[in-house]
C-alpha cells in the first residue's frame, strides 16, 4: 500500500452534502466548504462542521458538545450571527451545517494589512467591531421557549471568530465553548475553555462567568484593532494566564499616541479587572463605541467594508474558488465504480457510484498548486498513489486492477488475509461477478499497521502487521453486512460496520496522542477523497 494512505482524507459526502474543500480545523471538528443540490444543477454552498473521528470514537461527551452548540446557535436569529442550518448524524459522525460566509476573519484581515506594514482603517475596524458586538448581545439575550433568559456566555469572542463577508457584514460564529445555564454538558468546575489571550481574569481563574467576560474579550479585540498589535503576545500560555490575572492591561495610548482619548478611556473601562466596575453589556459597549468612534472619523458603512474585504482578501478567495472548481471538474471526469456507499446517512446500494481524488493529482493539473502549497511536515511532499505507468490518472480508484485479477485467479481463494500490493489504493472496488462467489474480496486499509482482524467473529490470519489487506470473503459474507474489528500493533482498537456489498473500507485508529489508551474505536470511512494541495489560505473564515 502506498505511503499516501497516511495523507489526510475526507469523505466525499456527508448526508446530502458534497464536501469540496477543508477550510479550517479546531480541537473538536474540521470545517469544510460543501454544497447541496437545491434544484436541478443548482447548488447552494454551506460550511459543514464535522466532528473529528477520534472524538466520535471516544464517547458521548464530545458528541453532546457539538449538538449543544447547534441547539444554542440555531436559536439565535440575528444578521450579525452566522446561522446554523442543520445538525445531523451520519456514518462519518455528527455534523453541523452553517451558512457559508465568503470573506475572511478579522484576524485574517489584520494579518493581511500588516504584511504591507499597514493597519486596519479605523472606520472599517470600528464597523466590524460594532457589528460583532450586536451579534454578541443577541446571543447574550437568548431565551428559551418559556421566555426565560438562558444566561449564555460565548467564552470565545476573538478575531478568529468574527467573520467579515464580502457583503460588508460582520458575523459572530463558533459557539463550541459557549456556556448557558442548564446546558447538558456543563463544564466542570476549575476547567477553562476558550483562547487564552482573550480570557477575562475570572475566566482564566476558572471562576463562575457571565456576559461580562465576553465584554472583556471585546475590549481586548478593540485594543488590538486600535493599537495594531496583540495585547498578549507571550507564546507560553501559562505566562499569559499569569499576566492576565495579575497585571492590568496597558493603555492603548502607550503604544499608539494618536488614538483619541475618549476611545482610550472607553477601552480601559472595558478592560478593568474589577468585574463590578466593568461595562455591563455588549450592547452598552456597542452604543458607547459608536459614539466614541466619531472622534476617530466615524464608522464605515457596509459598502466601504465590502470594498476593503474584496481588495484585501481577493487572492485568498480566488485561490479557494479555483480549487473548488478543480475538485468539481476532477470528480465529474472520474470513472464510476459500483458497489460503494457514497457516505450518506443511508447505506448505498451496490449500483451507487463514487470516486477518489488525490492531493497530488490536483497538483499535477496545475503548476500553481506547487507554488501555493504549504510545506508538508518534515519537508515531505504528498506522493502520488503508485498505479503503474500504463494506468491513467483518472483510474485512481484502482477498480480495473482488481477486476483483472479476479478473472485470472483460481475459483478457490484462501480464507486468510493477504498483504495487498504496495501500489494499490484504498479506494472502492467493483464487486466480483456472482458466478465467482468464492473469489469475492474485501480491501481493508488503516492508518496504522493492523496486527489482528476479525470479520463477523471470524479470526483472519494477518501475518506481519500491515496497513493494507486483501481478504477473501467466505460463506455468506459477500452478501451479508460486515462487522470488522481490528487491533493495531500498538494495541489501539478500531471497529467498523459495513453494509452488504461493501468491497472496500478504511479503519481509523484514533490518534494515540489524543485518544484514551483504552477505547479508541475506529469507524467505516467509505468514499474517501484526498484533499487537494492547499495553498496558503490560512487563516480561513473558520480558522482556529
For residue 84, the surrounding DSSP H or E stretch is: strand 84-90
DSSP-assigned letters across all residues of 89-154: EETTEEEEEEE---EEEHHHHHHHHHTTT----HHHHHHHHHHHHHHHHHHHT-B-TTS-B---B-
- Cβ atoms of 184 and 166 within 8 Å: the answer is no
What value does the CA radius of gyration of the chain take, rounded to a whole number of Å?
Answer: 26
Q: Is 305 helix (H, G, I), strand (E, B) or coil?
A: helix
- Cβ atoms of 48 and 14 within 8 Å: the answer is yes
Residue segments in the chain with a per-residue pLDDT below the cut of 50: 1-8, 182-191, 336-438, 514-544
Which residues 6+ apart lie within 8 Å of 75 measured at CB?
A: 142
User: Is 156 among the catalytic positions?
Assistant: yes
Q: How open is the CA angle 9-14-18, to the nearest 5 degrees?
A: 85
**Displacement of CA 174 from its chain's centroid (Å):** 11
Cis, peptide link before residue 54, omega less than 30° from 0: no
| pLDDT value at residue 381 | 35
Q: How open is the CA angle 111-105-137, to the nearest 5 degrees?
A: 130
C-alpha dihedral (56, 60, 64, 66), degrees to nearest 10: -10
| pLDDT value at residue 418 | 40
- Cβ atoms of 117 and 139 within 8 Å: the answer is no
Instruction: Name the residue among 354, 446, 427 with its Cα closest to residue 387.
Output: 427
DSSP class of 498:
E
pTM of the predicted structure, to 2 decimals: 0.61
Residue 182, Ramachandran bin (φ over 0: left; ψ between -120 and 50: alpha; else beta): left
| Residue position matching grid coordinates 479555483 | 322
Alpha carbon separation from 32 to 13, 202, 311, 320 (Å, rounded): 11, 34, 24, 12
DSSP class of 258:
T
Q: CA 123 to CA 426: how far, in whole Å?
A: 53
For residue 324, the surrounding DSSP H or E stretch is: helix 314-333
Domains along the sequence of the chain with CATH:
7-316 (1.10.510.10), 337-529 (no CATH)
Of residues 4, 104, 131, 156, which has the active-site annotation?
156
Which residues 6+ apart lie within 8 Å of 142 measured at CB?
A: 72, 75, 76, 149, 150, 152, 180
Q: CA 185 to CA 68: how far, in whole Å?
A: 8
Counting Cα atoms < 13 Å in the Cβ hemisphere of 147 gives: 0
For residue 36, the surrounding DSSP H or E stretch is: strand 29-39
- Cβ atoms of 544 and 25 within 8 Å: the answer is yes
Q: Is 529 helix (H, G, I), strand (E, B) or coil?
A: strand
Supply 146's cell numbers: 418559556
| pLDDT value at residue 479 | 85
Q: How open is the CA angle 185-189-193, to the nearest 5 degrees?
A: 70
Q: CA 417 to CA 461: how far, in whole Å?
A: 6
Instruction: Name the residue among 292, 359, 338 with its Cα closest to residue 433.
Output: 338
Amino acid at each position: 500500500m502506498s505511503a499516501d494512505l497516511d495523507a489526510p482524507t475526507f469523505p466525499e459526502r456527508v448526508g446530502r452534502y458534497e464536501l469540496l474543500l477543508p477550510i479550517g480545523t479546531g480541537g473538536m471538528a474540521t470545517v469544510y466548504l460543501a454544497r447541496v443540490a437545491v434544484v436541478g444543477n443548482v447548488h447552494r454552498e454551506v460550511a459543514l462542521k464535522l466532528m473529528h473521528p477520534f472524538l466520535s470514537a471516544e464517547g458521548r461527551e464530545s458528541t453532546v458538545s457539538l449538538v449543544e452548540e447547534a441547539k444554542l446557535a440555531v436559536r439565535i436569529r440575528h444578521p450579525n450571527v452566522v446561522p446554523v442550518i442543520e445538525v445531523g448524524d451520519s456514518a462519518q459522525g455528527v455534523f453541523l451545517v452553517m451558512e457559508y460566509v465568503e470573506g475572511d476573519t478579522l484576524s485574517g484581515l489584520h494579518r493581511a494589512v500588516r504584511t504591507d506594514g499597514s493597519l486596519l482603517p479605523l472606520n472599517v475596524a470600528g464597523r466590524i467591531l460594532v457589528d460583532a458586538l450586536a451579534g454578541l448581545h443577541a446571543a447574550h439575550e437568548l431565551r428559551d421557549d418559556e421566555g426565560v433568559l438562558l444566561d449564555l456566555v460565548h467564552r470565545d469572542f476573538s478575531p478568529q471568530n468574527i467573520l467579515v463577508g464580502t457583503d460588508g457584514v460582520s458575523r459572530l460564529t463558533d459557539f463550541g465553548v459557549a456556556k448557558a445555564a442548564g446546558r447538558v454538558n456543563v463544564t466542570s468546575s476549575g476547567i477553562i475553555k476558550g483562547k487564552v489571550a482573550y480570557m477575562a481574569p475570572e475566566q482564566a481563574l476558572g471562576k463562575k462567568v457571565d456576559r461580562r467576560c465576553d465584554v472583556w474579550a471585546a475590549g481586548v479585540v478593540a485594543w488590538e484593532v486600535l493599537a495594531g498589535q496583540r495585547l498578549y503576545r507571550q507564546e507560553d500560555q501559562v505566562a499569559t494566564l499569569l499576566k492576565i490575572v495579575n497585571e492590568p492591561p496597558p493603555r492603548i495610548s502607550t503604544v499608539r499616541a494618536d488614538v483619541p482619548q475618549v476611545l482610550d478611556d472607553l477601552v480601559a473601562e472595558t478592560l478593568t479587572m474589577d468585574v463590578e466596575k466593568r461595562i455591563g453589556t455588549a450592547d452598552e459597549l456597542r452604543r458607547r463605541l459608536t459614539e466614541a468612534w466619531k472622534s476617530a472619523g466615524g464608522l464605515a458603512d457596509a459598502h466601504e467594508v465590502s470594498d476593503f474585504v474584496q481588495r484585501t482578501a481577493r487572492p485568498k478567495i480566488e485561490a479557494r474558488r479555483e480549487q473548488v472548481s478543480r475538485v468539481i471538474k476532477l470528480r465529474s471526469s472520474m470513472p464510476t465504480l459500483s458497489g460503494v456507499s457514497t457516505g450518506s446517512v443511508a447505506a448505498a446500494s451496490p449500483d451507487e457510484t463514487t470516486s477518489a481524488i488525490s492531493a497530488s493529482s490536483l497538483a499535477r493539473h496545475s503548476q500553481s498548486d506547487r507554488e501555493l502549497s504549504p510545506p508538508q511536515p518534515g519537508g515531505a511532499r504528498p506522493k502520488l498513489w503508485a498505479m503503474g505507468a500504463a494506468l491513467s490518472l483518472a483510474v485512481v480508484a484502482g477498480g480495473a486492477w482488481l477486476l483483472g485479477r479476479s478473472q485470472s485467479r483460481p475459483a478457490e481463494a484462501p480464507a486468510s488475509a493477504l498483504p495487498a500490493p504496495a501500489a494499490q489504493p484504498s479506494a472502492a472496488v467493483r464487486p466480483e461477478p456472482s458466478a465467482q462467489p468464492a473469489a469475492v474480496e474485501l480491501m481493508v486499509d488503516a492508518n496504522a499497521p493492523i496486527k489482528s482482524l476479525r470479520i463477523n467473529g471470524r479470526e483472519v490470519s494477518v501475518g506481519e502487521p500491515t496497513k493494507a489487506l486483501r481478504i477473501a470473503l467466505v460463506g455468506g459474507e459477500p452478501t451479508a453486512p460486515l462487522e470488522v474489528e481490528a487491533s493495531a500493533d500498538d494495541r489501539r482498537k478500531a471497529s467498523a460496520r459495513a453494509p452488504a456489498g461493501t468491497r472496500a473500507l478504511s479503519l481509523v485508529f484514533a490518534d494515540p496522542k489524543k485518544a484514551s489508551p483504552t477505547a479508541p474505536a475506529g469507524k467505516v470511512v467509505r468514499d474517501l477523497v484526498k484533499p487537494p494541495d492547499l495553498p496558503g489560505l490560512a487563516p480561513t473564515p473558520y480558522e482556529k
